[in-house]
Every structure is written in structure tokens, then in C-alpha cells.
Amino acid sequence: MDKQKNIVIIGGTACGPKAGARARRCDPQARITIVEQEDNLSVATCGLPYYVSGTIVSQSKLVTRSPEFFRDVMNIKTLIKTKALAINRKAHKVEILELKTNRVTTLDYDKLVLATGSIPIVPDVVGKHLEGILTLTKIKDANAFRELLSPRQIKKAVIVGAGLIGLEMAEALAVEGLEVTVIEAMNRVLPTLLDFEMATYVERHLQAKGIKLALGQRVIGFEGDENAWVRKVITENTETKASLVLLALGIKPNIALAEEAGLAIGHTGGIAVDQYLRTSDIDVYAGGDCVENVHRITQQKILAPAGSTANKHGRVIGTNVTGGAETFPGVLGTTIAKVFACNVARVGLSESQAREYGYDVSTCLVPGLEYASYYPDGKEILVKLVVESSSGRLLGGQVVGLGEIAKRIDILATALTFGATVDELANLDLAYAPPYNSAVDPLHDAANVIRNKHAGYAKTLTPMEINNKIKQGEDFVFLDVRSPSEWESHRIEAPQVRLIPLNGLRKSLDVLPKEMEIVTFCQTSRRAYQAQRILDGAGFRNVKFMDGSIDAWPYEISSNEPRAAR
Amino acid sequence: MDKQKNIVIIGGTACGPKAGARARRCDPQARITIVEQEDNLSVATCGLPYYVSGTIVSQSKLVTRSPEFFRDVMNIKTLIKTKALAINRKAHKVEILELKTNRVTTLDYDKLVLATGSIPIVPDVVGKHLEGILTLTKIKDANAFRELLSPRQIKKAVIVGAGLIGLEMAEALAVEGLEVTVIEAMNRVLPTLLDFEMATYVERHLQAKGIKLALGQRVIGFEGDENAWVRKVITENTETKASLVLLALGIKPNIALAEEAGLAIGHTGGIAVDQYLRTSDIDVYAGGDCVENVHRITQQKILAPAGSTANKHGRVIGTNVTGGAETFPGVLGTTIAKVFACNVARVGLSESQAREYGYDVSTCLVPGLEYASYYPDGKEILVKLVVESSSGRLLGGQVVGLGEIAKRIDILATALTFGATVDELANLDLAYAPPYNSAVDPLHDAANVIRNKHAGYAKTLTPMEINNKIKQGEDFVFLDVRSPSEWESHRIEAPQVRLIPLNGLRKSLDVLPKEMEIVTFCQTSRRAYQAQRILDGAGFRNVKFMDGSIDAWPYEISSNEPRAAR
């Protein structure tokens, strides 16, 4: 009979407990120990903003498993409030500190699992240690927020960083009645996720919900009051009063233990692992936020911390530390967030990332409805695809909107996994019934727009390109083909704009200059494309349409009403 | 210069108009004519049940394009209220009858498109021509329903056929206050879509909504009153009073014109087309409900009428009749329906279909929540996967439930398109945030259950297999591992059932017979699987768990409350 295997897992949030449970199911005999510094195991960290906002009422909801569960059901020993101090790889030992007693002991291991997670990035600026400046990665952080908020005395908050946690917390704090300013060093919200025009969509929604945005502003310090409590956030150009600050600049892998133990660290800053999630030591595995992942499109190493990935890692590690040989194929950086009523998601590469990687890129901007237009109350979404021009292969997608987008991003994630082309995307047999979808899904539409571009039928300019032309006073016709009533309701104002409704276009060809550049647009770009084809067919030489048209226009429009319910 | 191409399209519902519009965008010069027997073009037929129910208020919502649009914008001639009588393939002519004037004329074509759609199946039984017996495939049918319903005098309706339209209309009529009985010849609702246990889930929901189900009953006739109005529906065993009957036995391809013209008809009964959607005549294309499709899993020809497919067909045909060479890759039979609050969908092969095709099949039944368990108000779903055992390749999936399922079925549709295995499905990088998903999606769970079965870790029996064992009085332990409070609330009653809560199982091993067959179960089967592994590890020789456990149990349970809100 085999010697009973000794498995030690450092980290008890997501990957660690999952690895332990899987290891137990694969090996009923192994000795399994989980070491966790905090006082809870199996914590749903992604729920923290919703716990701060009160959507999730009780802390206990976020703790999905108790130490008793691990003991009684899983036969796993859990050491909570216990910090791993050092790994002695040669001796196969981990030195641990019991925080309550300050007692240091050691654990022997045959296989060690590092699931040490991540730590929040804190900017090295003056005043960063003032009271009232918080991060949010643990339940105790969320409780700190709740305690600060419950007396209802704090009126103004600043969130530093317009990433996922920043925007989720903007909502959580606004719901609590605070005046919230989000300061972001980049020129847009969610800069690592979204391209400019998609981010703008989210920004309009945030502003409509009362969130103040200070974009392109780098925080250089914090000012405190006489009690060393924060009262001001200072950027190069601005000062913003606040008595509560969330630092939401992202997280970085917690690699201290691994590094000190001499394990290989990737250039991304995460622990380097192979496809079996084994570190540079064959007896040490690592998973979750502390490791780097392979991006399935670029095959490059990236950091992509996510609870979903941590769980998958846990399974792979649990299998492998008990003698299996499961592999993890990598990630697509799939991300989704609710920002007030706006749903925001991306998968794969953004346009800017794809261009940085040197891909020859086609894109499209396609507004659509979440389900059949004739079924009541369907809400708007906006799809952007990023496609390799030469092959038609999908590289990434972004979807934002008040309507259903999780489905669309997951379809794209699945398609990307298998190297789908736009031809394949356009012919996916997606489920159609009026309460769920249109006969032609917005993704089908988007794929067809790219196909039409590649076939030479559709010729487009992006809203950004057109805005530049307008700013430079270029001579072209910017042809609105909507109806007069739509024009009355809202319109783009520029000297180049002319209105000829689509249904009158064939009769109005004479009034348009045949040799001049014409860029058509409408609300969603469907009519604009049709108009382009009409003009092409009538011998006009230089006609394009605006990708995404008004629905994707990231700049000002003149309107008699507030801009569509974003 | 090329001769102007002459394109005639017969059929104006979905495929026809789409083919025309695409042809126009590809060829600005072609002469394009659409011939349509009814008085509307571009009709959203799938919306008809929602128009009957009043969810869609106005008929005009269902007509997405007007003849004026085709004339002014598309430069397409439309002949409505015009019936195509015959095709003279040799002469390249179509004989048409203008229904208003009874005038017969001919149209010349270079390329002909048949988009003749489908016709409802009407059973050849006595009384089928009585008043009050309707079908529902056109707007005029829906208007007939609305006219019959508006005086609010009809109290009882029978729907013959528990397919998609049958169940959508059951809801529409129940909402109007009618007592509705659905009669179905097969032993379950949605028999061509769902396996037994999944159909049962939907049946419970229908019954909870007050719908009467008469399953396994074949209608043999209708009885009328003195005004020749239907008053009774007669099956071999029953008579059901009704003054309104919907025949919802499905549809068949409308192939009369094609057949008379000598075009090849497939053994499915649909017009045979190649991957370019060309019929046996190189100048005649066909698409939409009138053709047969290739099933992407089996590569067999099937009938799979769907508005989504008709639109894709239209694009392919529009490209090809103007000189292009686009192909259509086939379908997966993806289908979704709202049945009251229950969402129902399938893709690919059901278990029964897969077995008929001779596949060696693994299945799983996995209950889950639509999103993170700790996020409030998440609703239940139930996933069934059908997988080829030898390869691990996905063959099909079914998802039902009150929670979000459209996303899951579309992920499966995409995965099936690319021949995904369960290993690949389990590692899809799906979008995770609490309002949208769990860290481990129910699909991940389901894929992992199959992987655990293939690896020999998970051993299961289906609820149906266990029910047979119980009925036959077999000697085994049916071990409920839920908590005492769950047991109090609801339980399966059988002499073989014993309760040992999971957290006490390791301490109770002595009370269980080591050599006897033990089948564990819980609410969702997660704890049941864990229990199986505990017993396996303790040396029990014959332990399995019940796939899907109580959530997938299609039979009676004892309960202090109505069974979970289905």
C-alpha cells in the first residue's frame, strides 16, 4: 500500500479549498491541510461590492464553506488565522505562524499548493496611510466600509481607479447616498477592458447616475485633517474633497512566499506554472490569482485574476497532486460587470490590444436589441468585434448596454476558444424565440458586418475617424438618412451633415456630389449601409458609412430629450 | 455590360425578403421580384402566440417591412396577394395568379428562389373541418383567435399537440382566462425536444399554471354542435369539451410547387438543396422552412424549420443568386421557448435521439442556479448533457428552469458547432460576476460530472433507473444525505430510503451494509457525489449516486409545501 500522501495548501479563498476538495475526491486517503491567514475559508470575494451595497445582506452568504464542513465532510484539516512564513523546499516543509498564539510550527508536505491570491495595488504617494483610505479585497475590508457608512455621516467619496471594482463600488457607494467621484489616470473607464468608444458608452451611463468622472488624472497625494483622516484627493490638476477613499488600482499576485522559496516568477509578476499548474518545483503547484496564465489567443503569459479561473485551477491541481495529469488550457480574459443598469463585458483582445500585438485588425460597431424588436421592452446593446483581417478569425469582443450581454460574451468566449471565424460566427445556430432573441442575433449581425467589409460591400469609418475629419474641417458629406422625426428628436451637429431620409434617397441622387466623399449614417447603421449600397450602385465613387452610427457615437449630440436611456 | 439579372422569389415571409435584400446589396442592377400569396411581407411568424396573448399589441409590430420599403429603398418589386401556380423550368418562367383580379400572368427568371415556407399538419380525423378548429401559422390565423377570444365567451380550449406552438399558445389562452387542455399523443410534452425527465419538469410547471395535460392520447375526432361548431375533442380514451381547438401538430414543408416542377425532394419531405442552397436545378434556389437541412452532429438530413435559419438561408441565397458562392453549414436544431415562467431549450441530440443514432452515450442531470448562490433571487435551472462516451464529445444539451437558460443553450450550440469535448466545455473561460453567473457555471459543473463519470470517480443511476428499482422492490439502500430540516420539508418516499446527513456520514459508516448496493441522493446531487466518494473511500463496494437528485426526480415527492416554485 502506498504511503499516505501529505498535501499542504496555502490559501483558503477559492483555488485552495477547491484543490483540497478535488484532491479528497480523487484520493480518499491523503492527508490534506489548508492554511489560511484570515478567519474564513471559501470566500466569494467577487461579492464584496454587493455586500457593501447591502444587496448581499449577510457576511455569512459570502462564506460558502465552514471549517466544520471541511473537517466533517471532506476530512480536510483547516488552519485558519495561520500564516505561512516560509517554504523549505529541500526539506519539504512549510513554516507556519498561528496568529492567535504567535506559535511557529512546521508542516511536512509531499505536494504543496500555493493559492496565495493577490494583494491590492497601493500607489506610493503622500498621505496613503491616512484614515478613511481603504482597499477592498477581503471581508474585513467590506466590513470597514459598512462600519464607515452606517452612521450616514460621510457625504463624499473618491474612488481611485475606474476598473471593475472601482465601478462596482461607485454604484455601491452611490446607492448609499454618497457623492462619488471616480479618478482614473487613463483617458477612459475600464481602460484595460474596453476601447474608447465602448468605454464612453459606460461613462455616459455613470454620469447619468450621478457619478463624477475625472479621467486622465493621476492621483499624486492625499491630504488629511487634524485626526489624520483623509479630506482631499489631489491630482496634478485637481483637488477633490472626500472623507472616504477607495483605492481600486487593481491587484497584483501575492508571490512573496514563492519568491522567497526561489520558485520561478514570470515576467508578468505572477508565479510561473506549466500546463499542469506545476511551478518550477515538481512538488509545488500554484493556482488562482497568484499565478500567470496563458492567453488563448496570443499564447502570451498574462495576469488574469478571476474567481472562475481560480476554481478551474483548483480542480486541475486537486487532480494532479493526487497523481492525475489534468491540464489547464489558458484563459481569454473574459470579464463582465454590472455598472448600475449597464452591463459591460469583454472577451479576448480589445482593438487597442490587438493592434499592439501586431494583428491586422477589422472591427465593427453594431447596436442591437437584446431580443426581437417586436417583443415589448427589449433593451439596447452595443457589440464590438475585433477580427484578424487576413483570416477572418475572431480576436475579441466587447458588449455593453442595458440589455442582455452575458449570453453574447459567453458565445464569443466559446467561439474564441475554438478559433472561430466570422463566417462561422454568422452561421451559429443560436436559440431563437421572441422573448430571448431576434431571428438574427446582434452577434450574427456583427459577424455579417465584418464579412460585408471583407467582401468589399461595406465600407466604413469609425465615429472617431469621422470626428477627426469634422474637427479638421474636411470637405465631405455626412449624410444622415434617418427620418425627419428622428432628426427633430436628436442629431449630430456639424457643417458637413445633411439629411436625406433613406426612403427618398434613390430619388435624390442628383442633389449629391458624385465625386465627393460621402459618409452615411443613421441610428444603428443598418440604413446607413443600405444607403451606401444605393449610392455605390448609382455610381458614386467614394461612399462609406459610419460604423455603429449614432448609437455608437461617443461625442455630443443635439437632442430635445436626454440621450437614449443610458 | 452584363445583362441585367432577373431574380424571382416566391415567398415573402422571412427567407424570401432576406434573399431579396441581400441580392440587392450584392447586385445594384438586378431585377428582383418577390411573389407573396398573403397580404403582408416580412412577417415575424414566431411572434404570433404573443400577438394572440396581447403581449404584442399590434399586428403592425409583426410586419417588419412594407411593400413601399421594398420599392423605395430596396428597388424590389413585390407582388402581394399573388399566388405562384407553376414553374416552367425549361422556359424559366413562373405562372402567377393575382388573387384580387384572378388574372394569370407569367414572370421570367434567370434565378428563381423558392421560399414557400411550411404548412400546418392537420390530422385526417372526423370533424376536422368544424368551426372553431384553428391552426396558427399566419397573421390571419392569429386574428381569427383574437376575434374568437374578444367576446370572452369561450371558456374551454383544447390544444392538440404539446410542441412549441402548442405550449406557447397554452399560455396565451390561459392568460385570456380559458381553461386549457393540451392533448399529446406521445408520453410527454415537447417530445421531439426533450427527454422524459426534462419534459416532466415542464409538465409540472404547466400543471402548476392550471394547464391540463392529456399525454399519450391520440385525437381520433371532433364532435360539433348544431352550428357545426366544435364542442368536443375525442381521443381513444377521453372526451374533452372545448369550443376552441388549436391544431398544433407541427408543420411540414410547403413543397407543392417544387414537386410539381420536378425538383428533387429529400426523404425528410423537404426540398433537397446542396450547401449553396441550390436545388436539383442550378437556376433554382430554395431556403427557409420548405427545405431540409443538414444536422451538424449527425450529418443527416433533417427538417428544422426556424425563423433564424430562414434568415441565414436568405443571406446565402441572396449572395449566390447574384454570382457569389456562400455556403450554409447546417443546423443543430437549437430551440428555445418560454412556457409561462419556465424557460425550455435544447440543442443537438437528445439522449433518445443519440441512442437511436447508435451513439454510445453518457449523460448527466445537473441542477444549478442562474447566477452566484450568494447573490439574491437567483432562480433554478436544470442542465442535461448528452455526450459520446468514447470521445467525450458533446452531442447535445437540454436546459429547463425558471432561471436564465438562453445563455447556456447558446454556449452549448457554439461548443457543438466546433465539436467540443466535455474537457473543453469544462474549461471555457465564461464571464463571471455575481449578477450573471457562478464562478463555476452550471455548464462547467455538468461537464465535470461527465468527466468524473468517465474517470470512474462518479457512478450514477438516473432517476428513472432508480424508480424502476423501487417499483420492482429491489433491495438497496437509497441514502438521502440532506439535512433533517430538508427531510422534514420534502422527501422521496420509498422503503429503501434512509436519511444520514452528509456531515454525519463519516461517523455512521458502521450502520451501512458494506456489500449492498447504496444509491446516495440529496437535493442537487453535489452532496450525493461527495457521499459516494466517502463511501468508496471507506471500502464500500457498490455505491452510486442519483443523477440530479431530487431536483431532477420526475416522480412524486412527499412535501409539506408545494414543490419548488416551478
DSSP string, A496-558: TEEE--HHHHTT-GGGS-SSS-EEEE-SSSHHHHHHHHHHHHTT-SSEEEETTHHHH--S--E
pLDDT confidence of residue B559? 87
CA A38, distance to chain mean position in Å, is 27
Q: How many whole angstroms separate alpha carbon B228 and alpha carbon B420?
A: 56
pLDDT confidence of residue A217? 96
**Which of A74, A309, A336 shows the shortest C-beta gap to B433?**
A336
Around Cβ B513, how many Cβ atoms within 10 Å? 12
DSSP assignment of B301-321 equals EE----HHHHHHHHHHHHHHH
Residues whose CB is less than 8 angstroms from the CB of residue B329 and which lie 6 or more positions away in sequence, other chains included: A424, A427, B275, B294, B296
Residue B255 one-letter amino acid: I
Asked if B318 and B14 count as a contact pair (C-beta separation under 8 A), the reply is: no
Q: How many whole angstroms separate alpha carbon B484 and alpha carbon B481?
A: 9
Q: How many whole angstroms separate alpha carbon B95 and alpha carbon B261?
A: 12
Interhelix angle A307-320/A15-26, rounded to 10 degrees, is: 30
Residue B352 one-letter amino acid: S
Instruction: In chain B, count H helices and then E strands.
Output: 18, 32
B 415-444 residues with CB < 8 A to A: 415, 417-418, 420, 424, 426-437, 439-441, 444
Cβ contacts of A409 on chain B, cutoff 8 Å: 431
**Which of B50, B428, B530 shows the shortest C-beta gap to A413?**
B428
User: Hey, are the CB atoms on A374 and B432 less than 8 Å from each other?
Assistant: no
Q: Nine-digit cell at B557?
A: 415527492
Separation in Å, CA of A172 to nearest CA in chain B: 14
Q: How many whole angstroms separate alpha carbon B21 and alpha carbon A527?
A: 12
Q: Strands, E, within A47-199: which ranges?
A: 77-79, 82-88, 93-98, 103-108, 111-114, 118-120, 133-134, 156-160, 179-184
Strand-pair category, B82-88 with A93-98: unpaired
pLDDT confidence of residue B563? 58
Q: How many whole angstroms separate alpha carbon A172 and alpha carbon A145?
A: 10
CATH topology of domain B341-454: FAD/NAD(P)-binding domain (3.50.50)
Separation in Å, CA of A473 to nearest CA in chain B: 31
User: Hey, are the CB atoms on A533 and B25 less than 8 Å from each other?
Assistant: yes
User: Hey, are the CB atoms on A431 and B68 less than 8 Å from each other?
Assistant: no
Q: How many whole angstroms separate alpha carbon A486 and alpha carbon A503?
A: 14
Cβ contacts of B309 on chain A, cutoff 8 Å: 429
pLDDT confidence of residue A559? 87
Q: Nine-digit cell at B371?
A: 447566477
Separation in Å, CA of B492 to nearest CA in chain A: 23
Q: Nine-digit cell at B526?
A: 453535489
pLDDT confidence of residue A2? 58
User: Hey, are the CB atoms on A538 and B410 less than 8 Å from each other?
Assistant: no
Strand-pair category, A239-241 with A118-120: unpaired
Q: How many whole angstroms separate alpha carbon B374 and alpha carbon B222?
A: 53
Q: Nine-digit cell at A257?
A: 512566499
CA A109, distance to chain mean position in Å, is 37
Q: What is the DSSP letter of A423?
A: H
CB contact, 8 Å: B237 with chain A?
no
Cβ contacts of B28 on chain A, cutoff 8 Å: 533-534, 536-538
Q: B18, B277, B410: which to substitute to probe chain A, counting the most A Cβ within 10 Å?
A: B410
Separation in Å, CA of B431 to nearest CA in chain A: 5
Q: B139, B317, B429, B541: which to substitute to probe chain A, counting the most A Cβ within 10 Å?
A: B429
User: Hey, are the CB atoms on A310 and B439 less than 8 Å from each other?
Assistant: yes
Active-site residue set of A: 46
pLDDT confidence of residue A562? 58
Give the helix ranges, DSSP H, for A53-111: 59-62, 67-72
CB contact, 8 Å: B504 with chain A?
yes
Q: Which residue of A has its CA nearest to B376?
A: A56
**Which of B14, B328, B444 shows the shortest C-beta gap to A427?**
B328
User: Hey, are the CB atoms on B375 and A56 less than 8 Å from each other?
Assistant: yes
- CATH number of A460-559: 3.40.250.10, 3.40.50.2300, 3.40.50.11540, 1.10.357.10? 3.40.250.10
* Domain-wise residue ranges, chain B: 6-43+58-118+252-321, 133-249, 341-454, 460-559
pLDDT confidence of residue B197? 96
Residue B423 one-letter amino acid: D
Q: A2, A293, A339, A414: which to substitute to probe chain B, counting the most B Cβ within 10 Å?
A: A414
A557: Cα within 13 Å, side-chain hemisphere: 24
A 457-496 residues with CB < 8 A to B: 457
Give the helix ranges, DSSP H, for A132-183: 139-149, 164-175
CB contact, 8 Å: A276 with chain B?
no
**Which of B306, B334, B434 shows the shortest C-beta gap to A50?**
B434
CA dihedral (A279, A282, A285, A291) in degrees, to 10, reads: 10
Residues of chain B with pLDDT under 50: 1, 565-566
User: Hey, are the CB atoms on B417 and A424 less than 8 Å from each other?
Assistant: yes
Q: Strands, E, within B389-538: which ranges?
A: 394-401, 460-461, 477-480, 490-491, 497-499, 518-521
**Catalytic choice (B46, B342, B364, B522):** B46
Separation in Å, CA of B517 to nearest CA in chain A: 20
Separation in Å, CA of A507 to nearest CA in chain B: 9
10-residue mean pLDDT profile of chain A (566 residues): values are: 86 97 97 96 92 93 93 97 98 98 98 97 96 96 95 94 97 96 98 97 97 97 97 96 97 98 98 98 98 98 97 98 98 97 98 97 97 93 98 98 98 98 98 95 98 98 98 98 97 97 97 96 98 97 97 92 53
pLDDT confidence of residue B3? 79
B243: Cα within 13 Å, side-chain hemisphere: 12
User: Hey, are the CB atoms on A439 and B530 less than 8 Å from each other?
Assistant: no
Q: How many whole angstroms separate alpha carbon B528 and alpha carbon B524?
A: 8
User: Hey, are the CB atoms on A308 and B418 less than 8 Å from each other?
Assistant: no
Asked if B107 and B97 count as a contact pair (C-beta separation under 8 A), the reply is: no
For residue A460, list its beta bridge partners. A545
Q: How many whole angstroms separate alpha carbon A103 and alpha carbon A312?
A: 34
User: Hey, are the CB atoms on A432 and B337 less than 8 Å from each other?
Assistant: no
CB pairs A-B closer than 8 Å = 265
Q: What is the DSSP letter of A291?
A: B
pLDDT confidence of residue B53? 93
Separation in Å, CA of B338 to nearest CA in chain A: 7
Interhelix angle A196-208/A164-175, rounded to 10 degrees, is: 10
Q: How many whole angstroms separate alpha carbon B303 and alpha carbon A482?
A: 40
User: Hey, are the CB atoms on B307 and A26 less than 8 Å from each other?
Assistant: no
**Which of A28, A308, A434 shows the shortest C-beta gap to B439?**
A308
Region of residue A473 (phi > 0: left; psi between -120 and 50: alpha; otherwise: beta)? left
CB contact, 8 Å: B262 with chain A?
no
Cβ contacts of A503 on chain B, cutoff 8 Å: 68-69, 72-73
Distances (CA, A) of A167 to A207, B177, B434: 12, 46, 14
Q: How many whole angstroms separate alpha carbon B483 and alpha carbon B501?
A: 5
ipTM entry: 0.97
pLDDT confidence of residue B1? 47
Q: How many whole angstroms separate alpha carbon A477 and alpha carbon B37?
A: 42
What global pTM score does this model have?
A: 0.97
Looking up cell 385526417 gives B124
CB contact, 8 Å: B505 with chain A?
yes
- CATH number of A6-118+252-320: 3.40.50.670, 1.10.1040.10, 3.50.50.60, 3.40.50.2300? 3.50.50.60
Distances (CA, A) of B69 to A274, B66, B111: 59, 5, 23
Q: B414, B421, B425, B500: which to substitute to probe chain A, counting the most A Cβ within 10 Å?
A: B414
User: Hey, are the CB atoms on B28 and A56 less than 8 Å from each other?
Assistant: no
Q: Give the full edge-to-edge strand order of the sheet including A244-247.
A: A133-134, A244-247, A156-160, A179-184, A212-215
CB contact, 8 Å: A402 with chain B?
no
Distances (CA, A) of A545 to A485, B67, B302: 21, 25, 40
Q: How many whole angstroms separate alpha carbon A554 and alpha carbon A556?
A: 7
**Which of B14, B26, B431 shows the shortest C-beta gap to A406?**
B431
Separation in Å, CA of A398 to nearest CA in chain B: 12
Cβ contacts of B399 on chain A, cutoff 8 Å: none
Q: Name the CATH superfamily for B6-43+58-118+252-321.
A: FAD/NAD(P)-binding domain (3.50.50.60)
CATH number of B133-249: 3.50.50.60
Cβ contacts of A56 on chain B, cutoff 8 Å: 374-376, 434
Distances (CA, A) of A307 to A15, A16, A404, A417, B311: 8, 11, 22, 19, 39
User: Hey, are the CB atoms on A337 and B433 less than 8 Å from each other?
Assistant: yes
**B248: nearest Cα among B128, B118, B121:** B121
Whether B341-454 and B133-249 are alike in CATH topology: the answer is: yes
CB contact, 8 Å: B69 with chain A?
yes
Q: How many whole angstroms separate alpha carbon B553 and alpha carbon B566?
A: 13
